[in-house]
Amino acid sequence: MAEKIILTGDRPTGRLHVGHYVGSLRERVRLQNSGEFDKVYIMIADAQALTDNAEHPEKVRKNIIEVALDYLACGLDPAKTTIFVQSMVPQLTELTFYYMNLVTVSRVQRNPTVKTEIKMRNFEASIPVGFFVYPISQAADITAFRATTVPVGEDQMPMLEQCKEIVHKFNSVYGETLTMPEIALPGNDACMRLPGIDGKAKMSKSLGNCIYLSDSPAEVKKKIMSMYTDPDHIRVEDPGKIEGNCVFTYLDAFCRPEHFAKYLPDYQSLDELKAHYQRGGLGDVKVKKFLNKVLEEELEPIRERRHMWEQRIPEVYEILRKGSEVAAAAAAATLHDVRAAMRINYFEDEELMHQPYEPQH
Ligand code: ATP
Ligand code: MG
């Protein structure tokens, strides 16, 4: 049977937030521990982060350790998972260069995530070429490890589509070489794209609307209390909307039935709580306090593990160094096959090197 392999990662542009957690991190830890996968690779995408932070390498540099600490805090286990740094695997850059020939400019321009991100970063007038081609480099990351499964949030769907097209194109031009990956999306809508605490479409490091996994209990509480709800829900007795109301979206992502008995025994389920809010008579503060308890239950153990790893920084860098070596060896093996398929493995071809010279016409 073909191996089952996971590849995914995050950009070291800041500490990780609860959107990463429900969108991908929680699922990665579950898959890692499921025993269903032969290999799990998790990448800190520093080269990708530089595509829109070229002038701020310090930002990328200091966030490598933050992301690594968040990984370990959430339960990614270096004994089961290879955690590595993208730029330490130069084969990925080489693969990107070859794949660029298989994709058109207009195809990248049509990528909806690229479109949104160009707007978000005010790149309309001058897009760095490296940023523009990052979907292609993501295809290199995924295929270099022969990944079969890519657990990510919804914003990554167009990237996976683009990657599959590249795999298809490569295999049809050069012969069956690359593995076709599948996306693994979170189970519910709230987790696919967790909104920011300001109610904006997506919680994102770049938008500063995040609850970070490493926030203190006081910070988390303050953020929850300031969270965007229904602006028309002014008095407790007013009927409230739950669509676009972050507090309820977060409950969709985090709340489990047992939380009610524990923290809000007047209600049996989230549906009941929602119905009361919609009817009127339920205040925002009560729901926010409940959300705070639910979130704390999840965040407290993560915070504790993080504090433990924060005392062991040299060990964390060593995990990344070793992981990067393992990753580079795996990527080199794929690249070897890619070069052979593309017929650019000249010096391995004894026949080529020893055939008598014949002038070409
Ligand atoms: P940046 O603003 O630098 O792009 P980001 O917050 O978007 O940072 P990424 O490193 O780009 O984070 O994303 C890492 C992973 O987390 C991806 O799989 C992405 O789909 C997922 N993810 C990011 N934000 C969310 C979110 N708000 N909800 C669900 N998943 C998310
Ligand atoms: Mg992003």
pLDDT tens digit string along 119-147? 888 888 889 999 999 999 999 999 999 99
Residue 116 in contact with ligand 1 by CB distance below 6 A = no
- CB atoms near residue 102 (< 10 Å): 18
pLDDT 10s digits, 186-199 = 988 889 889 999 99
Compute the distance from residue 277 Cα to the ligand 1 centre, in Å: 30
Nearest to 162 by CA among 205, 87, 109: 109
Contact criterion met (CB below 8 Å) for 13 and 60: yes
Tell me the pTM: 0.94
Angstrom CA distances, 156 to 47, 99, 137, 149, 183, stand at: 17, 19, 13, 13, 9
Compute the distance from residue 90 Cα to the ligand 1 centre, in Å: 24
Give the separation between CA 181 and CA 65, rounded to whole angstroms.
28
Ligand nearest to the CA of 11: 1
Residue 11 in contact with ligand 1 by CB distance below 6 A = yes
Residue 24 in contact with ligand 1 by CB distance below 6 A = yes
Q: Which two tokens stand for residue 182?
A: 């599948």
Residue 329 has pLDDT above 90, yes or no: yes
Compute the distance from residue 124 Cα to the ligand 2 centre, in Å: 17
Element (H, E) at 150: strand 149-151
- Of the chain, the percentage scoring pLDDT greater than 70 comes to 100
pLDDT 10s digits, 200-223 = 878 988 788 999 999 999 999 999
Give the separation between CA 166 and CA 168, rounded to whole angstroms.
5
Nearest to 129 by CA among 156, 100, 99, 102: 100
Average pLDDT over residues 149-162: 94
Q: Which two tokens stand for residue 344?
A: 């650019």
Residue with tokens 């008095």: 235
DSSP of 167-205, one letter per residue? HHHHHHHH-S-SPPPEEE--SSHHHHTPPPTT--S---G
Residue 156 in contact with ligand 1 by CB distance below 6 A = yes
Compute the distance from residue 9 Cα to the ligand 2 centre, in Å: 11
SS (H, E, C) 20-76: HHHHHHHHHHHHHHHCCCCEEEEEECHHHHHCCCCCCHHHHHHHHHHHHHHHHHHCC
Give the separation between CA 331 and CA 337, rounded to whole angstroms.
10
Residue 203 in contact with ligand 1 by CB distance below 6 A = yes
Compute the distance from residue 252 Cα to the ligand 1 centre, in Å: 18
pLDDT 10s digits, 55-96 = 999 999 999 999 999 999 999 999 999 999 999 999 999 999
Residue 193 in contact with ligand 1 by CB distance below 6 A = yes
357-360 long-range contacts (CB < 8 A, ≥24 apart) are none
Straight-line distance from the first to the last Cα atom of the chain, in angstroms, rounded to the nearest whole number: 47
Q: Give the CA-trace dihedral at 255, 260, 264, 269, to 10 degrees.
A: 80
Compute the distance from residue 211 Cα to the ligand 2 centre, in Å: 15
**pLDDT the model gives residue 273:** 96
Residue 211 in contact with ligand 1 by CB distance below 6 A = no
